[in-house]
């Protein structure tokens, strides 16, 4: 076993672990920002949604972001679609309104779950294999050190301690890389469960609200102007004209 091969393998192992550490901390930072944004948007939307006077007013909320807002948006669009009166003959619309609404909400929740879980498999992989990668570098380095010791014919502490100590650095680095990855993975898994439970409760409450309102949501539209009619050479609204006629008959 040549010294060059040993050096290349040990150095390659250390560089791999350093790269894995950089990926780990980058993912922890990205996922941390993502969860902060999600928590803020969910709290903000939940406050505005439950503060609305009715479900029709809640459907008119604008500029809402976050998983809860997207789940609600899918729910409102489904209610409008099923109430549009358009005849559909595909398999998707063979369910009744409640079943279709529940299906659409679940589909959107699965999309949100996929977004939340993105990157966690990388953290789990790094946390699982980093100690073994470091151990591989250590074992290889010790093998090279022992080979050199056998060639030199001396087994004194000065000869043995240096090469073996350098080889053990790979194991220490592997553990140092694995610990943050495992801690980050467990933390985000816990946070995902909390967010998923929140979305699940929100979806159930949304279906109950829709059921309470007979699965009817009106489309947002501008109010129609009152129709004008000509009476006595002037233009008045139909209601105003009707009230004038009733007043004239009362005085007659």
What would the DSSP string read from start to end of the chain?
--HHHHHHHHHHHHHHHHHHHHHHHHHHHHHHHHHHHHHHHHHHHHHHHHHSSSHHHHHT--S--SHHHHHHHHHHHHHHHHTS-----SGGGGS-HHHHHHHHHHHHHHHHHHHHHTTHHHHHHHHHHHHHHHHHHHHHHHHHHHHHHHHHT---HHHHHHHHHHHHHHHHHHHHHHHHHHHHHHHHHHHHHHHHHHHHHHHHHHHHHHHHTTT--PPP-PPPPPPEEEETTEEEEHHHHHHHHHHHHHH-
Bigger pLDDT: 100 or 228? 100
- For residues 73 and 127, membership in a common domain is answered with yes
Residue 15 lies in a domain: yes
Q: Are residues 94 and 210 in the same domain?
A: yes
Highest mean pLDDT among 63-67, 75-79, 86-90, 183-187: 183-187
Q: Residues 3-13: what's their mean pLDDT?
A: 77
Residue 90, pLDDT > 80, answer no
| Model pLDDT, residue 235 | 45
Task: Judge whether residue 211 has pLDDT over 60.
Answer: yes
Residue 111 pLDDT exceeds 60? yes
Residues 210 and 234 in one domain: no
- Do 211 and 234 belong to one domain? no
Q: Which of 2-11, 103-112, 239-248 has the lowest mean pLDDT?
A: 239-248
For the record, the structure tokens of 213 come out as: 């309102």
Average pLDDT for 85-94: 57
pTM of the full predicted structure?
Answer: 0.74
- Per-residue confidence (pLDDT) for residue 99, from 0 to 100: 85
My answer on whether 199 and 252 are in the same domain is no
Q: Where is pLDDT greater, at 39 or 215?
A: 39
**Residues 197 and 153 reside in one and the same domain:** yes
Domain assignment of residue 222, yes or no: no
Residues 27 and 108 in one domain: yes
| Contact residues for 152 (Cβ-Cβ < 8 A; gap 6+) | 159
Model confidence at 224, pLDDT cuts 50, 70, 90, reads very low
**pLDDT of residue 241 exceeding 70:** no
d(CA 146, CA 24): 34
pLDDT of residue 214: 76
Q: 251 and 155: one domain?
A: no
Q: What mean pLDDT comes out for the span 21-44?
A: 94
As a whole number of angstroms, the distance between CA 68 and CA 49 comes to 10
- Report the pLDDT value the prediction gives residue 95, as an integer from 0 to 100: 64
Domain annotation covers residue 221: no
**Does residue 210 sit in the same domain as residue 233?**
no
- Mark whether 242 and 167 lie in a shared domain: no
The pLDDT value given to residue 158: 64
pLDDT value for 34: 94
pLDDT at 221 over 70: no
Range of the domain at 42: 3-215
């Amino acid at each position: 076993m040549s010294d060059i091969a040993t050096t290349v393998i040990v150095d390659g192992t250390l560089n791999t672990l350093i790269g894995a550490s950089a990926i780990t901390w980058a993912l922890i930072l990205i996922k941390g920002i993502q969860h902060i944004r999600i928590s803020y948007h969910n709290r903000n939307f939940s406050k505005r949604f439950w503060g609305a006077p009715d479900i029709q007013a809640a459907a008119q909320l604008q500029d809402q972001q976050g998983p809860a807002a997207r789940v609600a948006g899918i729910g409102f669009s489904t209610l409008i679609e099923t109430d549009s009166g358009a005849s559909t003959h595909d398999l998707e619309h063979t369910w009744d309104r409640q079943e279709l609404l529940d299906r659409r909400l679940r589909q959107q929740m699965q999309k949100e779950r996929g977004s939340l879980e993105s990157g966690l498999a990388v953290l789990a992989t790094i946390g699982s294999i980093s100690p073994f990668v470091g151990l591989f570098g250590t074992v290889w380095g010790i093998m090279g050190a022992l080979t050199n010791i056998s060639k030199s014919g001396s087994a004194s502490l000065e000869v043995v301690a240096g090469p073996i100590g350098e080889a053990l650095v790979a194991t220490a680095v592997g553990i140092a890389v694995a610990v943050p990855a495992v801690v980050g993975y467990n933390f985000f898994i816990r946070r995902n469960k909390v967010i998923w439970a929140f979305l699940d409760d929100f979806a159930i409450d949304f279906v109950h609200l829709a059921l309470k309102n007979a699965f009817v949501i009106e489309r947002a539209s501008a109010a129609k102007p009152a129709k004008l009619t000509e009476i006595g050479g002037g233009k008045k609204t139909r209601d105003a004209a009707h009230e004038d006629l009733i007043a004239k008959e009362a005085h007659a």
